[in-house]
Structure 1
């Protein structure tokens, strides 16, 4: 399946899938439980398709959410690396026996986390196969929990890369291997693995299933962990739960996870990198903002976002880029189209590789270009970046 080349974005894929099935708009709208008017606006690019509505439409089509959103294409030169990466993943329990320099391994892991933070998807893709092979070899040689934690960390990066592109077969394989490594490691690595596993449910549109994974992991962390690591684990899980509940528009569950995340963030203090993932007060704010937009509390979300940016931030591009996308969502919902263009342009400036493949970025670009009927240099520049033909 592919979107219309002139207007890439998840909403365009809805029309493609509908026409493939020979359905009229009112037939699809009836199956999805939405108005024909709403569906028409989504297809024409007059209203963005959010992932909550996307999950409903995906169910009506009999596909998963990631299939509806559409996979990002493999960039030139990345295909061979991804083939190599899959080969290394298949050989999880078959070490090469080659010696590994532990000091170099530590530097390579730190560089991977930096590139992930910078949302440098291409560089992460190119480094993953060799690094994954080395960390697996080293963990088999030592069989130490700390070295298996490193394996789990690299698989978390594989999941992150695959999820950003909606390569869900790769993402789901990654979280299986991540859990296998985490089980030989420590409870915090297991909590991160559960968070990523719940992410595959999020990407697939099974929000209730993802919440069940989170709730199970929260119970395990509360029962088996102590000290700061307990709060780090719970905080990361609550952030994922918050997002999943927001997509379901389950306000009660959202507030429960917000409360839990805030409590853990207050104890951990400033944001830190946990197994390649950030947690702390700032990242909690970015998740609250996104969830408020999902719940259509756009004015509140915008106030939270503008205050956060005004007060200064320390989070990396991989978090600040999506933050600007969600601010753009809130502005567009409040009919501030020019402001939405400015915020989306910020997301492109901060994390261009992520903006190029992120479904929210693509959908906002499609809608903003469609709605701006008059000539606008900023919209023209945005269209060029997003690959939209004017």
Structure 2
């Protein structure tokens, strides 16, 4: 395929594509998806899958075995439901702090215990715990771009959600749409979001309905931004802001990650996806002037998206500062995140002088300087 044909298929100029190839411009996840579609290859092959060592491979093998046995319950676990809830909070803590190593280590045993207990009792609350467990599996897999594992996780999550509490299908739909997002099928993900919104509006009420709409709108705006559909993005941004105005502070429990600050993080990222970099930077600056109450994983997203925005505005120092703050907030997630990898790659290529902070980050990512 000629460069001209690929650029046309991606909707960018040949000059822009050439700069991305030479490391002078970041390859955004939206452009990566369009490249994957044009080349007929999976998105995770374009962005690169995170390699695993022998120990991690063994842990993942154990996790896959547990997932396969979803409908083959074992004996009822000796751990009571209170103990399972304690473990659920610990898993949630690993997600919030982006402790990916701890998730790989703990998820196989946790899912085994939680699923066996849910089969034994049949209680919706027990199945909601299983839903949250598979949400953590999806989060782990998506961060590393292990998309086969992510897609298997959302299938199991959806099955568990149908037996769980009324809010559980919202969490499952958010992650199912996320699997479409991470595979580059943005229209499919938007369809999942809209279907889930209709269901949530029909089955939920009060604060739960507001949270559901907010959670789903955040996913919707991200998908629309990657699709570069301004009207659809604005629809979801408006919906998310309306929902956030009814929530006094950000909620981060039991998969219900939504609130005013989280909405602002997503809006800034979506504006950058749409090429509205000055607006994105202003949104991020306004948020950074407040006292952040977000978990580290969301703080990391704020700064990593701000780093690509600063780079697009030709503010290399600002891009490096935001990238450094992203690594400080959640180092494990920042190390495997495709946007942080891309920004760092471009900064290394562009810099013509030694920079201790850049050299340190490059060494962390295994890039030569």
Q: Same fold (TM over 0.5)?
A: yes
The change in CA–CA distance for 1:322 and 1:76 in structure 2 (over 3 A counts) is farther
In the TM superposition, 1:63-102 aligns within 5 A as 63-101=41-79, 102=81
2:361 paired with 1:382: yes
Please tell me whether residue 227 in structure 1 is matched to residue 206 in structure 2. Answer: yes
Deviation per residue, 1:291-317 (Å, 9 max, x gap): 111111111211211221111111111
Match for residue 43 of structure 1 among 21, 30, 35: 21
User: Partner of 1:162 in structure 2?
Assistant: 141
Which residue is 2:239 aligned to? 260
Structure 1 position 122, deviation (Å): 0.3
The Cα of 1:33 is off from its aligned counterpart by 4.5
State whether residues 100 and 138 of structure 1, in contact with CA within 8 Å, keep that contact through their aligned partners in structure 2: no
Of 172, 177, 183, 1:198 maps to 177
Partners of 1:309 and 1:33 in 2: how far apart?
Answer: 33
Q: CA deviation at 1:24?
A: 4.6
2:90 corresponds in structure 1 to: 111
Find out whether 1:149 has 2:128 as its counterpart.
yes
Runs of 5+ consecutive residues of structure 1 not aligned to the other structure: 1-22
Query: Which residue is equivalent to 2:220?
Result: 241
The 8 Å contact of residues 195 and 240 in structure 1, kept in 2 or not, is answered as: yes
Shift of 1:329: 1.0
CA distance in 1, matches of 2:345, 2:206: 46
Q: Which range is displaced more, 366-375 or 129-138?
A: 366-375
For the 8 Å contact 1:231–1:267, the answer to whether it is kept is: yes
Partner of 1:180: 159
* TM-score with structure 2 setting the length: 0.97
Secondary structure of the corresponding residue to residue 136 of structure 2: helix
The superposition leaves residues 155-196 of structure 1 with CA deviations (integer Å, 9 ceiling, x where unpaired) of 000000000001010000000000000000123110110110
Shift of 1:100: 3.2
Deviation at 1:63, TM superposition (A): 1.4
Higher relative contact order (Cα pairs below 8 Å, separated by 6+ residues): 1
Equivalence for 1:278: 257
Deviation of 1:26 (Å): 3.5
The match for 1:11 is none
- Name the CA distance, whole Å, in 1 between partners of 2:203 and 2:169: 11
Note the C-alpha offset of 1:381.
Answer: 1.5
- Spell out the pairing of 1:234-383 with structure 2 (5 A cutoff): 234-383=213-362
Q: Whole-Å Cα distance in 1 between the matches of residues 364 and 240 of structure 2?
A: 35
Work out the CA distance in 1 between the residues paired with 2:238 and 2:10: 33
Aligned equivalents of 1:109 and 1:78: distance in 2?
A: 22
Indicate conservation of the 8 Å contact 1:270/1:281, yes or no.
yes
Partner of 1:10: none
8 Å CA contact retained: 2:9, 2:34: no
TM-score when normalising by structure 1? 0.91
Distance 2:329 2:238 in 1: 30
Equivalence for 1:61? 39
Structure 2 distance, partners of 1:150, 1:110, is 10
Give distance in 2, aligned partners of 1:350 and 1:333.
Answer: 22
Could you tell me how far apart the structure 2 residues matched to 1:327 and 1:318 are? 14
In 2, Cα distance between the equivalents of 1:373 and 1:76? 38
Structure 2: segments with no counterpart, 5+ residues: none
- Provide the secondary structure at the position in 2 that maps to 1:273: strand
Q: Is the 8 A contact 1:197 1:213 kept in 2?
A: yes
Could you say if the C-alpha distance between residues 263 and 192 of structure 1 is closer, same or farther in structure 2, counting changes exceeding 3 Å? same
**What's the secondary structure of 2:51's corresponding residue?**
coil
Q: Distance in 1 between matches of 2:199 and 2:330?
A: 35
Count of equivalent residues = 368
Larger displacement relative to structure 2 (308-317 or 122-131): 308-317
Report the Cα offset of residue 40 of structure 1: 1.2
Specify the SS of the correspondent of 1:80. helix
